Chains A and B, each alone.
Chain A
Amino acid sequence: MSVVPVSYYLVLSAILFGFGVVAFVFKRNIITIFMAIELMLNAVNLAFVAFARAWNQLDGLVFVFFVIVVAAAEAAVGLAIAITIYQNRRSLNIERVNLLKF
């Protein structure tokens, strides 16, 4: 069985991250934006794991665990915010949440 080169994983990670960025910028639904953020985080996770395996080091894996924990916390808080926004605005359109400005 031949080993998949690390560059494949990195390209995949970059593509996933790019999707995440595009969705993050262009989508309007708050839930979708969350999913875009999760996508970016996990793209980065993929890169970490790939490096950890390529160089036989645990550091990358430890990082991944931290990222997962942060992502979980962020999702919990973020979803709570999303629910509150929906209760107030009857909508999840990000463009309707624009009162906090200069």
Chain B
Amino acid sequence: MPILDHLWIILALPLAGAAINGLLGKNWPKVAVNSVGIGSVSLSFLSVLEAIREFSLLPAGQLSFFKNYFNWIVTGSFKVDFALQMDHLTIVMLLVVTFVSLLVHIYSTGYMAHEEGYYRFFAYMNLFVFFMLTLVLAANIVLMFVGWEGVGLCSYLLIGFWFLKQSAISAGKKAFITTRIGDFGFTIGILLLFWTFSSVDFGTVFAKAANMPAESATQAGVLTWICLLLFAGAIGKSAQLPLYVWLPDAMEGPTPVSALIHAATMVTAGVYMVARMHPLFSRAPIAMFVVALVGAVTAFYAATIALVQTDIKKVLAYSTVSQLGYMFLGCGVGAYAAGIFHLMTHAFFKGLLFLAAGSVIHAMGGEQDMRLMGGLRKQIPATYWTMFIATLAIAGIPGFAGFFSKDEILDAAGSGPNAHITLWLLGLIAAGLTSFYMFRLIFLTFFGKQRFDEEKVHVHESPKNMTVPLMILAFFSIVGGWFAAPHLMGGTDYFEAFLHPVFAAYGVQAGIEQGASLAGAAGEAGGIATSPAMELFHALTGPPVILAIIGLLVAWWFYIRRPDAPKKLSERMHGLYTLLLNKYYVDEVYATLFIRPFLWISTNVLWHVVDERVIDGTVNGVARVAREAGGQVRELQSGNARSYATWVVIGAVGFTVLMLGVWGMVR
């Protein structure tokens, strides 16, 4: 078991790539930087494959492979190991992360070809892969937190990659600080976790949690608090309400970064965390409801903003926020497997959408405004077809990846054990909105008249190293959901069955709430017995599909049939349109409620009073007292030796008087 025993190799490869490129690559030719950057990630991908092969050879009863490499922190009873683990959930994440990373790295060789700091870009990207894999492989929550913060750092570095651009720097800072607010909760959650279970190790914590009864749905116990605090971190990292504001701004970074970090991997870390901590969440119904509610509301809310955005990357950014909401909705209603399934399919089609958008921007010579595009489908056919496939996938058109995963989530939200009609409705409407804004993007970009000056813009298809990753991702955007296909006919969902050992291992005792992963099957079985064909018919004509088709048709009506209709509608519903166009004024509200008061307090109280008066005043005051006292005392050193002699005599006499008279040392 060469790789499985040395899981650290998977981490070490991208770290080495980052170190080599970052420290030495400055003056290297692009070929050398490419081979280090792509080589390390592809070797990492191959080691993941080998590790999975070895994992499959383990005895059937073994839930996860655990290996401790060294003791990292040991102080009293607080013990943290550098320990890695692998189970079925890890396998899914490892495959997604390394595979998508590899494709994005290859794509970047084309997209970033003319950029300054080429080696720096690849060093950061490799570093990101390292931290993301640490996050995924970690066997305790502290090590996971290392990865968690590390990916945040890389996100910051890559958003601000063009560091001469003021907006990029601000966006990087915004991303870092906003996620830090959530991480504050996460840190306290870790402390509370250790305080409750006296361990930070997943295995120990879950084993102890498995013996605890589920908490009541009306009163928050310690598990609920732990879960809510950890979820605060997920809200920041995965851009949910109310901390989603950083993700749209993060589009200032290079497009491959948006695809890898801000669509496919890093932002899904929160979903992975919730799924990983499922033994705790499953026992905290209030926390579960909060997760589901935040997810559903975010899915709906972000989709409404995406309706009117004109920047092609901003549409995708809000779409990402919305899709992440779906994943949390899935986890929140107990369908962890469905949430992770959507995470995977989303990584494929949203990664593809971003990369294709990058290809469009590349073709347009840097233009990102969809109002200035149009009619591109003939000129850049490869980009068009791949992006179209991804759009079908995200819109939930039957047969494509997004259909299966979204359907499962909505199914769980509508008929699972924790189902709630509001959650289901929010998710359903968001599905319709998703379909509309995605086809709006496609129609505005690739159909209709060309709304740009052909003399100035030389539209050209991207090179092979950009289009081939697009095609591979397009392939997976189609087949990535087929694991679940038999489920439509009442059969087994292979993806869910694959993850079943993980999510069934620490299930809540029967009678209170049944283990989540069984929910889907139980719900189906409980219904009226129907033939597979009927099941398939129901799935293909369910409300999500109908809404997706309606979204498509409305988009077609607005942007192909009647290109002047959107303008009229926006004039008729001016208030709503302005509200959406300005993203509900959330940035402005945050600026008024938090940023400006904090700035005012920082400037007028902390800076001018506390710092300048109190701290500087104390330090300078001590110095001034010493100086002025010294100024007085130095007069004694007159240079006149006889005055010194006088002082000596006065001193001696004074001391004698003191000893004899006052202290009475001699009787």
Does A98 touch B at the CB level, under 8 Å? yes
Does A68 touch B at the CB level, under 8 Å? no
Q: Name the interface residues of A11-68: CB closer than 8 Å to any CB of B.
A: 21, 24-26, 28, 33
Does A97 touch B at the CB level, under 8 Å? yes
Contact partners of A100 in chain B: CB under 8 A: 637, 639
Q: Complex: how many Å from CA A33 to CA B645?
A: 10
Q: Complex: how many Å from CA A101 to CA B634?
A: 8
Q: Complex: how many Å from CA A98 to CA B638?
A: 8
Can you pick out 14 interface pairs between chain A and chain B where the beta carbons lie within 8 Å of each other?
A24-B645, A25-B642, A28-B642, A33-B645, A94-B641, A94-B642, A95-B641, A97-B641, A98-B641, A101-B637, A101-B639, A102-B634, A102-B635, A102-B638
Does B599 touch A at the CB level, under 8 Å? no
Does A1 touch B at the CB level, under 8 Å? no
Chain A residues within CB distance 8 Å of chain B: 21, 24-26, 28, 33, 94-95, 97-102
Q: Name the interface residues of B489-507: CB closer than 8 Å to any CB of A.
A: none
Q: State how many angstroms separate the Cβ of B6 from the closest Cβ of chain A.
A: 73
Nearest 6 Cβ contacts at the A-B interface: A101-B639, A98-B639, A102-B634, A94-B641, A102-B637, A25-B645
Q: State how many angstroms separate the Cβ of A13 from the closest Cβ of chain B.
A: 15
Q: Which residue of A lies closest to B633 (CB)?
A: A102
Question: In the complex, given contacts A94-B641, A102-B637, what are 16 additional A-B residue pairs having Cβ atoms less than 8 angstroms apart?
Answer: A24-B645, A25-B645, A25-B646, A25-B649, A26-B642, A95-B640, A97-B641, A98-B638, A98-B639, A98-B640, A99-B639, A100-B639, A101-B637, A102-B635, A102-B638, A102-B639
Q: State how many angstroms separate the Cβ of A101 from the closest Cβ of chain B.
A: 3
Q: Complex: how many Å from CA A4 to CA B133?
A: 101
Q: State how many angstroms separate the Cβ of B20 from the closest Cβ of chain A.
A: 63
Contact partners of A95 in chain B: CB under 8 A: 640-642
Q: Complex: how many Å from CA A75 to CA B646?
A: 21
Contact partners of A21 in chain B: CB under 8 A: 649
Q: Complex: how many Å from CA A24 to CA B646?
A: 9
Contact partners of B638 in chain A: CB under 8 A: 98, 101-102
Chain B residues within CB distance 8 Å of chain A: 634-635, 637-642, 645-646, 649
Q: Complex: how many Å from CA A95 to CA B639?
A: 9
Q: Complex: how many Å from CA A71 to CA B213?
A: 92
Q: Complex: how many Å from CA A102 to CA B645?
A: 17
Contact partners of A99 in chain B: CB under 8 A: 639
Q: Complex: how many Å from CA A25 to CA B645?
A: 6
Contact partners of A94 in chain B: CB under 8 A: 641-642
Q: Which residue of A lies closest to B640 (CB)?
A: A98
Contact partners of B634 in chain A: CB under 8 A: 102
Q: Which residue of A lies closest to B634 (CB)?
A: A102
Please determine whether B649 and A24 come into contact, CB atoms closer than 8 angstroms.
Answer: yes
Q: Which residue of B lies closest to A97 (CB)?
A: B641
Q: Complex: how many Å from CA A101 to CA B645?
A: 15
Contact partners of B637 in chain A: CB under 8 A: 100-102
Contact partners of B641 in chain A: CB under 8 A: 94-95, 97-98
Q: Which residue of A lies closest to B639 (CB)?
A: A101
Q: Complex: how many Å from CA A4 to CA B642?
A: 38
Contact partners of A25 in chain B: CB under 8 A: 642, 645-646, 649
Q: State how many angstroms separate the Cβ of B657 from the closest Cβ of chain A.
A: 15
Q: Complex: how many Å from CA A15 to CA B638?
A: 30
Q: Complex: how many Å from CA A24 to CA B642?
A: 8
Q: Which residue of A lies closest to B646 (CB)?
A: A25
Q: Complex: how many Å from CA A32 to CA B635?
A: 27
Q: Which residue of B lies closest to A28 (CB)?
A: B642
Contact partners of A97 in chain B: CB under 8 A: 641
Q: Complex: how many Å from CA A21 to CA B648?
A: 10
Q: Complex: how many Å from CA A102 to CA B646?
A: 18
Q: Complex: how many Å from CA A102 to CA B635?
A: 7
Contact partners of B649 in chain A: CB under 8 A: 21, 24-25
Q: State how many angstroms separate the Cβ of A18 from the closest Cβ of chain B.
A: 11
Q: Complex: how many Å from CA A95 to CA B646?
A: 14
Q: Complex: how many Å from CA A37 to CA B178?
A: 78
Q: Complex: how many Å from CA A95 to CA B638?
A: 11
Q: Complex: how many Å from CA A16 to CA B649?
A: 15
Q: Complex: how many Å from CA A28 to CA B517?
A: 106
Q: State how many angstroms separate the Cβ of B626 from the closest Cβ of chain A.
A: 16
Contact partners of B642 in chain A: CB under 8 A: 25-26, 28, 94-95
Q: Complex: how many Å from CA A99 to CA B642?
A: 14
Q: State how many angstroms separate the Cβ of B632 from the closest Cβ of chain A.
A: 11
Q: Complex: how many Å from CA A19 to CA B641?
A: 19
Q: Which residue of B lies closest to A99 (CB)?
A: B639
Q: State how many angstroms separate the Cβ of B59 from the closest Cβ of chain A.
A: 88
Q: State how many angstroms separate the Cβ of A17 from the closest Cβ of chain B.
A: 10
Q: Complex: how many Å from CA A21 to CA B637?
A: 21
Q: Which residue of B lies closest to A37 (CB)?
A: B645
Q: Which residue of A lies closest to B648 (CB)?
A: A24
Q: Complex: how many Å from CA A101 to CA B635?
A: 8
Q: Complex: how many Å from CA A35 to CA B254?
A: 90
Q: Complex: how many Å from CA A26 to CA B642?
A: 7
Q: Complex: how many Å from CA A99 to CA B635?
A: 14
Contact partners of A33 in chain B: CB under 8 A: 645
Q: Complex: how many Å from CA A17 to CA B642?
A: 18
Contact partners of B640 in chain A: CB under 8 A: 95, 98, 101
